[in-house]
Amino acid sequence: MNLTVDRDTVISRLLAANDILILCHKNPDGDTIGSGTALCLALQRLGKTASVLCSDPIPAMYSYMPITLFDGSYTPAFVVAVDVAGIQLFGDRNNIQDYAEHVDLCIDHHGSNSGFAVETLVEPEAAAAAELLTSLIPAMGVEITPDIAACLYTGLATDTGCFRFTNTTAATHRAAAALIDAGADVESLNERLFECRSHARITAERLALESMEFYYDDRCALICLTWDQIRAAGVDGAELEDLTSLPRSIDGVEVGLTLRQQKDGSYKISVRTGHNTNACNIARRLGGGGHPRAAGCEISGNLDNAKHAILEEVKKELDRAAE
């Protein structure tokens, strides 16, 4: 049975726990990896055994984070998930399913969280899980070191598009300011996260632009990358995350869709919307979730089926917004 808990309960549980395992979601982004690593570092500073487990490899762009990956050298007694809205998001590699079904505590910012953990802290108004941890870690009695600050800033910056997305609030900026005060080198972090592009990433962006299609009187734009294209480009999945904002950036587009084929043939679909439509409504009807302006889901089957399914839901949302 899932219980929704407050911050004080979360702090109490973490301080009482030992031999802790922190789970991140598959296809890891800056928030799940940054939050997981920051929490791990904080727990280690308290003298606890803690490590991080993810189904997929950690992207090279986050190699500056001092991540302690779980190596099986201890038996986890307390399992924490960070930035994971549903059990299906854990993936199935690295034996993560051995722990995914027994999560003691989930710290998340997705209003669509399914309540898979025994206890859950969800604050949908937070721009990122890292925003929550920026205040939770000091409340645990742990100083935010420059390493922890860099990890948390990564989560904040990547989940807000470098503070450009509508999920950015005054509280988000205050959290970022606290991390800068704690030693986060924002100049080098922002350059690494938002200004450096590999040749592979540029090749993938060109292919995505060539695939662009418009629907519903140009109110919806769609781009797509197949697994063969991603593999041929040699691009790291994490480098493709910011492609999701590309279709929505076009003047007049209310709903932007990015379809990325996975190795198993399924399609990871990212939905970005303007103020008149709700991305979470679109994704939730296909088994996904997220936020009002940014959400996602996965669809099995071929590309035509994936397009048809997501476009049908986009039309429903556009029609609802026009009423």
Predicted local distance difference test score (pLDDT) of residue 236:
80
What's the pLDDT tens digit per position in 174-202?
Answer: 999 999 999 999 999 999 999 888 899 99
Predicted local distance difference test score (pLDDT) of residue 302:
93
Predicted local distance difference test score (pLDDT) of residue 38:
98
Give the whole-number percent of the chain exceeding pLDDT 90: 88
Domains in the chain with CATH codes = 3-193 (3.90.1640.10), 199-322 (3.10.310.30)
Predicted local distance difference test score (pLDDT) of residue 67:
98
**Mean pLDDT of the region 140-153:** 98
Q: Which residue has the higher pLDDT, 188 or 60?
A: 188
**Mean pLDDT of the region 215-242:** 92
**Mean pLDDT of the region 106-116:** 94
Q: State the residue for tokens 């030693």.
A: 183
**Mean pLDDT of the region 157-167:** 92
Predicted local distance difference test score (pLDDT) of residue 1:
58
What's the pLDDT tens digit per position in 281-307?
Answer: 999 999 998 888 999 999 999 999 999
**Mean pLDDT of the region 247-254:** 96
**Mean pLDDT of the region 31-51:** 98
Q: What is the 3-state secondary structure (H, E, C) of the chain?
A: CCEECCHHHHHHHHHHCCCEEEECCCCCCHHHHHHHHHHHHHHHHCCCCEEEECCCCCCHHHCCCCCCECCCCCCCCEEEEECCCCHHHCCCCCCCHHHHCCCCEEEECCCCCCCCCCEEEECCCCCCHHHHHHHHHHHCCCCCCHHHHHHHHHHHHHHCCCCCCCCCCHHHHHHHHHHHHCCCCHHHHHHHHHHCCCHHHHHHHHHHHHCCEEECCCCEEEEEECHHHHHHHCCCHHHHHHHHHCHHHCCCCCEEEEEEECCCCCEEEEEEECCCCCHHHHHHCCCCEECCCEEEEEECCCHHHHHHHHHHHHHHHHHHHHC
Which distant-in-sequence residues (6+ apart) come within 8 Å of 215 by Cβ?
A: 221, 222, 311, 314
Predicted local distance difference test score (pLDDT) of residue 305:
95
**Mean pLDDT of the region 19-37:** 97
What's the pLDDT tens digit per position in 251-282?
Answer: 999 999 999 999 999 999 999 999 899 999 99
